[in-house]
Amino acid sequence: MSSSGHTSSAIRNPLNSSTNTNGNGTRTGALVPTNNVTTVDGLTVRTRIDPTLTVDDVVRQLCVNLKIKESPSHFALRDEADELVTNDNLRKKIKNRSNLKLVNAPAREARETAQKLNTRTDRNIKLTLFSLQKFIREEAFAREFLDHDGLHELVDVISTSSGNTLAYALTAMQNLMELDYGWASLTDEFILTVVHILASPQSLINVCRPATAILKKLVEADPSSLPGPQAASSSRAISNVPPGSVSRYGFQKVFAQMRKERGSLETVVNRLGSAEMAMAQYSMMLINSLLAHASDDSWEEFIAELERLNVRKAVVRLMSLHNIDDLTSCMDFQANIVRVTYRKKITLVDPEEDEKHAAILQSLWEATKLEEELDSNGQLLKWRKIGFDTEDILEEFSEVGVLGLECLKKFIEGDPEFPKVILEQLSRPEERRCPIAKASNEVVELLSEHWAIYAPGYSTATTFQPFFLDFHRVHSLATHFFIRMWSESGATTDDFPRIVALVHSQVKLALRKESTREWHELEADFLESDYRDVRDRQMKQLELEDDLLSKIPVRNLRSKLYKESYEFVKQQRIQCLLHGAWFINATPQPTSRDGVSRRPPRPWRFMRLDTSQKYLHFVDSAVKFPVRNGLEDLPERIDLSLISEIAGGTCAPPPNVLRDQNEFSSNSAPMPSPLSFSLLSTHEGSLADLIAPDSSRWADWTDGLNMLRRDGGHVSSKETAGFVQALTEIGLKIKLLDLSGEMVEIPSGLVAGPPPTNTDFFFSDFPPGPA
């Protein structure tokens, strides 16, 4: 056997058939690169490989020339990074002169790995698992590994190991779960094991990361992720899941096990403060998945537990310590909290049907230190004492739901002077009393409008909003401001809309540039503003605005139009992805591992979303070329389910690449481009680093990809948010023109008439009117 760097006498004839020599020894034909191939015996040979051959043919000829007696089907080729050489990437490996290795075929390697796990010893287990975590992603390896009971062996290793051995095993399981098959037999006992590992204070960081990712994957593997009837069904019963499908877990399965492991959710929230950035991100993504997939049965319990653990404060602290571009998952959290807030807002308060609502109302009433009594008409006088119009709690909270109830409770209980405040109001003539409870609900409406809490899944905030995550505290400040404006202006009952307008004006002022302001500045705006200054500014605003827009029916109309506008823009963005576009293959910022920015081998990439909206297909090229419709010209693809974040401003253009009319000089420092974005995976790092040709294309793709995500995607560009807002306002004005043109008066609210005296009536089917 020859040593490394020599040509083996076993290969006298190169595998390449397009490069030959003539009788005088002169080379003819095209020059084909030479690859080093290391054999299973450690022998390194230099050979030229014909790029027209298949990988099976190359392996077969190597075995013949090296006089290997075993069947060629037992062998395969890998590069130095252990990437499997396939027919799709063979030409690329040849062209790049990659160093190759003749190794066991994936199927053979899988059989041997499963056997080693079955007969494991402390000496070989770590090396076996280290290789397994790399090879398990390959379909040929995975299928053979699963067929030889490898999953059972891997689960057993996870249940009985610790330290780095456990870290390798969990990472292997995490990588296996990227496949959409093969792990449908994981049991509740296994889920509990992973939860226990995650919650254990003794667990190492490299153990907690894959454990967190496994739970995230299990949460997202619910029946609603299946196409067809299962996805549309509100029931997530496992009985409806096809045999062998991995979509049989979901939130309920994971949360049930987290309940058994005391402190597990608290541990996840606490790790948001981890000094290890990756651990904080993994924890944030698990929380997002739990929020996005929480089932109706456990929704209230889960949200209440998160609120008890003060997760919002932990996220705000996390954002204050890091750059926002590094924490896209925190923006996803914010979008999820918008959904939570909206759901609370539309959940009706019904103390007769819900014991929790009755308990909150009782606690609220006790905090007022008031006594029930009868009014002059002999009717119960209770809730009207704190400012409601009626004693009908269901009706009073009909517009703000549980959100309004919680805000009023926190407002009253958070102010030790409130009993004195309410007594002072009750000492006034009735028309001079500030309706504090009604004002509280109105402030909830104003804040909901400001933060666009219109519907679940329709968040267009492009910046982090720390004050929104402190909704209750902002509500308390604004409600105290309402009471102060009422007193300073000498308002009466008829002046309620005027004070609402004042507060609306102050809310917009105090919450301006929220992502860059400090809390004390917000407090100052509410606590120190003088009534006259507020009134003067509000009057100037009224000159530019129409009082009509503040009416409740118009607010509801805006909410409906907002949803329609969001859906329209979403479909437009997705159409851009389906059409495809050219991007620059960017140079990512230097990694912390080696401090080196790696230049992409080819400067251009064309990407297109497939019609199933599951994969991004692409091709890398040295030059732009006309790409045909369909996917024939796009041989490679990225699984959208692997994308955990779409981060912006992450990479720089490579040297000497033209983008439209701009040329980036190789002499200039590689600064991140504002038009760049990266598709990040939970554990593989960046799947793609790209630069868009212009801001519109950047908005189309970053927001389009975000809108496709199921785990709390958000709008990241001001352009998309602006389109949604503009369409909403245009639609609103068109609708209002239909009414104002006919001089129709829009009421502030609608009052239901008396119910029918009997059931002797029916609803007539009227033919549709003219368009």
Three-class SS string for 374-401?
Answer: ECCCCCEECHHHHCCCCCCHHHHCCCCH
The DSSP symbol for 351 reads T
On the question of pLDDT at 345 being above 60, the answer is yes
Q: Taking the alpha carbons of 617, 623, 624, 626 in that order, is the dihedral positive or negative?
A: negative
Contact 215, 181 (CB under 8 A): no
pLDDT, tens digit (0-9, with 9 covering 90-100), for 134-148? 999 888 899 999 999
Average pLDDT value for residue range 704-712: 74
Burial 515-528 (b: 16+ CB within 10 A, else e): eeeeeeebeebbee
Average pLDDT value for residue range 176-184: 90
CB atoms within 10 A of CB 559: 18
What is the helix, strand, coil percentage profile of the chain, to 5?
A: 50, 10, 40
For the chain, percent of residues with pLDDT exceeding 70: 82
CA dihedral 732, 733, 739, 744 (to 10 degrees): 100
Q: What DSSP assignment string belongs to 331-348?
A: HHHHHHHHHHHHHHHHS-
On the question of pLDDT at 706 being above 80, the answer is yes
Q: How remote is the C-alpha of 431 from its chain's centroid?
A: 50
pLDDT at 311: 93
Tokens of 205: 């960081």
428 burial via Cβ count (<10 Å: 0-12, 13-18, 19+): exposed
| Position with higher pLDDT, 625 vs 757 | 625
Most confident by average pLDDT, 10-19, 55-64, 184-193, 723-732 = 184-193
Kindly indicate the confidence band of residue 460, based on its pLDDT and cuts at 50, 70 and 90. low
Contact 525, 508 (CB under 8 A): no
What's the rounded Cα separation, in Å, for the pair 139 and 136? Answer: 8
Tokens of 443: 């402030």
Contact 195, 258 (CB under 8 A): yes
| Position with higher pLDDT, 185 vs 685 | 185
Kindly indicate the confidence band of residue 391, based on its pLDDT and cuts at 50, 70 and 90. very high
Q: What residue type is assigned to position 328 of the chain?
A: T
User: Which residue in the block uniquely carries the two structure tokens 């709390």?
Assistant: 712
The DSSP symbol for 615 reads E
Average pLDDT value for residue range 634-654: 81
Contact 66, 10 (CB under 8 A): yes
Whether the full predicted model's pTM is greater than 0.85, yes or no, is no
Give the number of residues written for the chain: 771
Contact 48, 32 (CB under 8 A): yes
On the question of pLDDT at 467 being above 60, the answer is yes
Q: Taking the alpha carbons of 729, 735, 738, 739 in that order, is the dihedral positive or negative?
A: negative
pLDDT at 4: 40
If we measure between CA atoms, which residue out of 644, 663, 653, 636 comes closest to residue 689?
653
Q: Which whole-number Å values give the CA distances from 682 to 174, 316, 526, in the listed order?
A: 10, 21, 42
pLDDT at 366: 93
> Which pairing describes strands 27-28 and 20-21: parallel, antiparallel, or unpaired?
antiparallel
Q: Say which residues have a Cβ less than 8 Å from residue 716's Cβ, sequence separation at least 6.
A: 328, 331, 462, 646, 648, 702, 703, 706
Contact 196, 261 (CB under 8 A): yes
Average pLDDT value for residue range 395-410: 95
pLDDT at 50: 84
Q: How remote is the C-alpha of 563 from its chain's centroid?
A: 19
What's the rounded Cα separation, in Å, for the pair 426 and 343? Answer: 34
Q: What is the chain's mean pLDDT, rounded?
A: 82
Tokens of 711: 């785990």
What's the rounded Cα separation, in Å, for the pair 108 and 627? Answer: 39
Q: Say which residues have a Cβ less than 8 Å from residue 92's Cβ, sequence separation at least 6.
A: none
262 burial via Cβ count (<10 Å: 0-12, 13-18, 19+): exposed
Full set of structural domains in the chain with CATH: 20-104 (3.10.20.90), 107-225+245-346 (1.25.10.10), 355-545 (no CATH), 564-589+600-661+670-720 (2.30.29.30)
CB atoms within 10 A of CB 438: 18
What's the rounded Cα separation, in Å, for the pair 162 and 165? Answer: 6
683 burial via Cβ count (<10 Å: 0-12, 13-18, 19+): middle
pLDDT at 365: 93
> Which pairing describes strands 44-47 and 75-79: parallel, antiparallel, or unpaired?
unpaired
- Least confident range from 31-45, 483-497, 565-579: namely 31-45
pLDDT at 10: 34
Kindly indicate the confidence band of residue 548, based on its pLDDT and cuts at 50, 70 and 90. low
> Which pairing describes strands 615-621 and 658-659: parallel, antiparallel, or unpaired?
unpaired
On the question of pLDDT at 658 being above 60, the answer is no
Residue 621, φ and ψ in degrees, nearest 5: -150, 155
Q: Which whole-number Å values give the CA distances from 157 to 112, 173, 194, 568, in the listed order?
A: 16, 11, 12, 50
What's the rounded Cα separation, in Å, for the pair 173 and 210? Answer: 8
Residue 258, φ and ψ in degrees, nearest 5: -70, -30
Residue 315, φ and ψ in degrees, nearest 5: -70, -40
Residue 297, φ and ψ in degrees, nearest 5: -65, -35
| Position with higher pLDDT, 378 vs 417 | 417
- Residue 494 half-sphere exposure, CB side, CA atoms within 13 Å? 0
pLDDT at 717: 76
What's the rounded Cα separation, in Å, for the pair 184 and 108? Answer: 24
pLDDT at 236: 45
The DSSP symbol for 325 reads G
pLDDT, tens digit (0-9, with 9 covering 90-100), for 736-755? 776 544 444 555 555 556 67
For the chain, percent of residues with pLDDT exceeding 90: 36
Average pLDDT value for residue range 410-428: 93
Tokens of 435: 């309706």
Q: What DSSP assignment string belongs to 439-484?
A: HHHHHHHHHHHHTT--STT-----S--TTGGGHHHHHHHHHHHHHH
Average pLDDT value for residue range 246-268: 92
pLDDT at 13: 43
pLDDT, tens digit (0-9, with 9 covering 90-100), for 290-299? 998 998 889 9
> Which pairing describes strands 35-38 and 100-104: parallel, antiparallel, or unpaired?
parallel
Most confident by average pLDDT, 28-42, 366-380, 387-401 = 387-401
If we measure between CA atoms, which residue out of 271, 280, 290 comes closest to residue 336?
290
pLDDT at 763: 64
If we measure between CA atoms, which residue out of 153, 268, 136, 139 comes closest to residue 213?
268
What's the rounded Cα separation, in Å, for the pair 137 and 148? Answer: 16
On the question of pLDDT at 172 being above 90, the answer is yes
What's the rounded Cα separation, in Å, for the pair 289 and 274? Answer: 19
Tokens of 39: 């054999």
pLDDT at 565: 84
Contact 345, 401 (CB under 8 A): yes
For residue 413, the surrounding DSSP H or E stretch is helix 401-413
On the question of pLDDT at 209 being above 60, the answer is yes
Most confident by average pLDDT, 51-65, 226-240, 589-603, 631-645 = 51-65
| Position with higher pLDDT, 63 vs 240 | 63
- Least confident range from 73-82, 344-353, 760-769: namely 760-769
Contact 570, 560 (CB under 8 A): no
